[in-house]
Amino acid sequence: MAKKIKNFSELVMFEHTIFSASFSFMAICVALMYKYFANSFDVFSEIKIFFLCIIALVSARNFAMGFNRLCDRDIDRKNQRTKNRPSVDGRISLFTMILFCSLNALIFIAVSFFINQLAFYLSFPFLIILAFYSFMKRFSVLAHFILGLSLGLAPIAGAVAILGAIPLWSIFLALGVLFWVAGFDLLYSLQDIEFDKKEGLFSFPAKFGIEKTLFYSRVSHFFAVFFWFWFLWSINSGIFGFLGILCATGMLCYEQYIVARDLKNIPKAFFVTNGYLGFVFLVFIILEVVARIYYA
């Protein structure tokens, strides 16, 4: 059993849930703050919704990653970097992967139903978007931005779960996530540039080359900071929120620097810097919310 759990964890790279989880939790914290000031905050109800949100987040991500691995089995089998994934080397069968994706999709829909009506209605288009990314690399260089959109749904989902609505600030936060993810996925895809050219895949590096990929990754990260700034502005953030975006900007600059210096630093930039970025930004948003409530 422990071995099977390890295989599934490797399949969906469970430890990377923090990429989307951090920004979903940011939206939840801000939404709870607004509910508190509106005198509609109920501790037991919010705790229940929070745990439902965690289940929804994990199941949605499991579906997205599992479905992507399912669709990419033919590609991953040929790629030296991915040929040892559980979806390819026989540790997880095709039937088991289909069952895994189906169960997680059903869990996500069911949990959304118990959160609120809008969450339930949005669960279906959200799953379609998550699945659509897996096909994009076969016909469009916009795949990197569809991945960004997929993770950008997380903060919108967090706001919907708490407020039953999609406030403007959650859209700004989501757009920031979209460009943040697209920016680092452009860098990450540089590792497969020769393979993508050989297989005729529509990755940005394969079509436009290394220099243009680095440039548009920087442009994407500029827009990430731009939209995060408007997110903070729209919630009338104080000093903690802007310290958070300052740290995030510094980490993005560091990420761009180490990759431009040596492409061998891509794994470090992707797995370390991005993981810390979301967590650090989340901590500052929590401090901002606590300070706003305490000094209100």
Residue in the block written with tokens 């079509």: 207
pLDDT by residue (tens digit) across 102-161? 999 999 999 999 999 999 999 999 999 999 988 887 888 888 999 999 999 999 999 999
Mean pLDDT of the chain: 88
For the cut 60, the answer to whether the pLDDT of residue 83 exceeds it is yes
Contacts of 217 (CB under 8 A, 6+ apart): 183, 184, 186, 187, 256
Per-residue confidence band for 214, with pLDDT thresholds at 50, 70 and 90: very high
Helices (H), the chain: 2-12, 18-37, 43-71, 73-76, 94-115, 117-136, 143-163, 168-188, 193-199, 204-208, 210-234, 239-261, 266-268, 274-294
Query: Per CATH, is 18-294 categorized as 3.40.630.30?
Result: no
Q: Is the pLDDT score of 17 beyond 70? A: no
* Whether the predicted pLDDT of 98 surpasses 70: yes
Decide: 162 and 31 in contact? Cβ < 8 Å.
yes
Query: What average pLDDT does the segment 2-16 reach?
Result: 62
The answer to whether residue 84 scores a pLDDT higher than 90 is: no
Confidence of residue 198 (pLDDT cuts 50, 70, 90): confident
pLDDT of residue 74: 80
For the chain, the structural domain boundaries read 18-294
Confidence of residue 13 (pLDDT cuts 50, 70, 90): low
Whether residue 2 has pLDDT greater than 70: no
Please give the pLDDT value at position 226.
98
Question: Are the C-beta atoms of residues 266 and 187 closer than 8 Å to each other?
Answer: yes
- 240/283 Cα distance (integer angstroms): 9
Q: Which is more confident, 122 or 76?
A: 122
| pLDDT interval class at 273 (50, 70, 90) | confident
- Encoding tokens for residue 72? 């990419």
- What pLDDT, on a 0 to 100 scale, did the predictor assign at position 182? 94
What gap in Å lies between CA 224 and CA 173, rounded to an integer? 9
Confidence of residue 7 (pLDDT cuts 50, 70, 90): low
**Percent residues over pLDDT 90 in the chain:** 56
Residues 6 or more apart whose Cβ sits within 8 Å of residue 243: 284
- Give the tens place of pLDDT for each residue, 30-55: 999 999 988 888 888 999 999 999 99
